[in-house]
């Protein structure tokens, strides 16, 4: 059961809910209404101009300085250029209400919007029409990468919601060493190539839900160190798919739960990836995954070739559950939909796979591959010694109940790298048959 305490403006404040994967309340400790009642700092009163050709970074920084001890930075409806980047440091009981659209005009690297060392913070759009347009295609068409859009560093008791992030020059949204946060009701659209991650997160006690991502790299990814992260109702709509990693030395990831993830035309439904390294991933669950037309499906790869080998015998994976996976892969004989390749120096154990019903759209069989993997489920070894063993392959010629309900908004192609990506409306559905946990503010 999830119980939300909602402010007059619809912002969720310290949502409390029963979940084994969160360690406490998440979200701001004061409402947007109370922040705005204390003080509103409209950037138009600090030198801002509703113009794509004006650099509004100084105005945003000035408004933040005036309101960061308590209040709301307000960016009203309209178009706003950003030629230099914004670093907003400190602040308590402060929010940013982005009802306008910010357009990148500068060419530097780094982060367009960087928020750090902040407590009781909210970044949202009261109309659900706020957006940041990164115009990443300008860089990608030239074979380079540009700035990331949004980065939070050491932000505590926060929420980000009702905003669209579009066409980043590199990553779209990163949460670095953050805690007690909630991210929801967002749409992210990027170009059709790598290094354009949707959401990357590391930290503790963070709830990410009701998100749609289109790109060709990671959708919602947990990185080390991370604990008590709950990821729910994710729509991976022509994407790289969700992931854990890449993982290297001293990995520390535990109590992670992904639940209700819909994936179509993506590289994978879930990839847990490492190459060498040390540390562990444990006490995690991945439930209610459905999808179709994906290259890979469930993939633990302890020999991830795209990652430089890290020092160590390998990351140890244990006490991990996968339950209720349905749908199709593109070609199950070419790319096994179930692939658990654990490091020989750290065989995984306590792996449980139940109700795994994935069929193929090409051919008449699917493969299951396991290496150094112990537990209960298809192709896993039931031994107790947890010693290394070579890859075992199982061929499956029929799957009983793999049918799923598809989403009406499924893309049949990704976005290119040479033209601008349109700013979309935030959807009201992120997983078949499930309503979002919180209604759009707009």
**Catalytic residue from among 255, 292, 326, 386:** 292
**CATH architecture entry for 1-238:** 3 Solenoid (2.160)
**pLDDT value of position 20:** 55
**pLDDT value of position 5:** 32
Residue-range domain boundaries for the chain: 1-238, 239-410
**40 near 71, Cβ under 8 Å?**
yes
**pLDDT value of position 21:** 82
The predicted model scores a pTM of 0.95
Task: Round to whole Å and give the CA distance between 337 and 188.
Answer: 26
**Catalytic residue from among 55, 197, 217, 301:** 217
Name the CATH topology of 239-410.
Pectate Lyase C-like (2.160.20)
Task: Round to whole Å and give the CA distance between 243 and 200.
Answer: 9
Beta strands of 163-312 (E only): which ranges?
Answer: 163-166, 173-189, 199-214, 218-237, 241-247, 251-264, 270-274, 279-294, 298-301
Task: Round to whole Å and give the CA distance between 232 and 262.
Answer: 10
The pairing of strands 366-371 and 392-396 is antiparallel
Task: Round to whole Å and give the CA distance between 433 and 319.
Answer: 30
**pLDDT value of position 1:** 28
Count CA atoms within 13 Å of residue 68 on its CB side: 16
β-bridge mates for residue 102, sequence order: 80, 132
**pLDDT value of position 385:** 93
The neighbour count for residue 152, using CB atoms within 10 Å, is 26
292 assigned to active site: yes
Give me the tens of pLDDT residue by residue for the chain, a chain 442 residues long: 233 333 333 343 444 443 458 999 999 999 999 999 999 999 999 999 999 999 999 999 999 999 999 999 999 999 999 999 999 999 999 999 999 999 999 999 999 999 999 999 999 999 999 999 999 999 999 999 999 999 999 999 999 999 999 999 999 999 999 999 999 999 999 999 999 999 999 999 999 999 999 999 999 999 999 999 999 999 999 999 999 999 999 999 999 999 999 999 999 999 999 999 999 999 999 999 999 999 999 999 999 998 999 999 999 999 999 999 999 999 999 999 999 999 999 999 999 999 999 999 999 999 999 999 999 999 999 989 999 999 999 999 999 899 999 999 999 999 999 999 999 999 999 999 999 999 999 9
**262 near 433, Cβ under 8 Å?**
no
**pLDDT value of position 13:** 40
- Asked, colleague to colleague, whether 1-238 and 239-410 share their fold, the answer is yes
**pLDDT value of position 12:** 39
């Amino acid at each position: 059961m999830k119980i939300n305490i909602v402010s007059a403006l619809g912002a969720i404040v310290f949502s409390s809910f029963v979940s084994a994967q969160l360690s406490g309340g998440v979200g701001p400790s004061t409402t947007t209404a109370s922040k705005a009642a204390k003080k509103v700092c409209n950037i138009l009163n600090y030198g801002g101009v509703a113009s794509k050709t004006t650099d509004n970074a100084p105005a945003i920084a000035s408004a933040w300085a005036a309101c960061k001890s308590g209040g709301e930075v307000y960016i009203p409806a309209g178009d706003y250029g950003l030629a230099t980047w914004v670093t907003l440091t400190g602040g308590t009981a402060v929010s940013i209400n982005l009802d306008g659209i910010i357009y990148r005009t500068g060419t530097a690297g780094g982060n367009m919007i960087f928020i750090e060392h902040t407590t009781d913070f909210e970044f949202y759009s009261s109309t659900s029409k706020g957006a940041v347009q990164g115009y990443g295609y300008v860089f990608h068409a030239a074979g380079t990468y540009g700035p990331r859009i949004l980065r939070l560093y050491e932000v505590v008791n926060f929420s980000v919601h009702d905003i669209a992030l579009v066409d980043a020059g590199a990553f779209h949204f990163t949460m670095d060493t953050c805690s007690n946060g909630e991210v929801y009701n967002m749409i992210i659209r990027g170009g059709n190539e790598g290094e354009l991650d949707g959401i990357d997160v590391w930290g503790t006690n963070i709830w990410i839900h009701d998100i749609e991502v289109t790109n060709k790299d990671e959708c919602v990814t947990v990185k080390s160190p991370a604990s008590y992260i709950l990821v729910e109702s994710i729509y991976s709509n022509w994407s790289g798919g969700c992931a854990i990693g890449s993982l290297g030395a001293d990995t520390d990831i535990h109590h992670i739960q992904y639940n209700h993830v819909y994936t179509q035309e993506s590289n994978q439904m879930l990839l847990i990836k490492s190459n060498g390294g040390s540390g562990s991933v444990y006490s995690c669950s991945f439930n209610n995954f459905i999808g179709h037309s994906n290259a890979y499906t469930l993939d633990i790869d302890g020999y991830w070739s795209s990652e430089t080998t890290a020092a160590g015998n390998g990351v140890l994976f244990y006490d991990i559950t996968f339950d209720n996976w349905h749908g199709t892969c593109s070609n199950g004989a070419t790319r096994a939909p179930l692939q658990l390749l654990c490091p020989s120096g750290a065989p995984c154990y306590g792996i449980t796979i139940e109700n795994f019903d994935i069929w193929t759209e090409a051919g008449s069989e699917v493969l299951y591959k396991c290496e150094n993997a112990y537990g209960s489920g298809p192709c896993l070894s039931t031994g107790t010694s947890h010693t290394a063993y070579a890859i075992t392959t199982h061929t499956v010629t029929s799957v009983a109940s793999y049918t799923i309900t598809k989403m009406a908004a499924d893309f049949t192609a990704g976005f290119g790298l040479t033209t601008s990506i349109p700013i979309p409306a935030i959807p009201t559905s992120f997983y078949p048959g499930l309503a979002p946990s919180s209604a759009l503010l707009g």
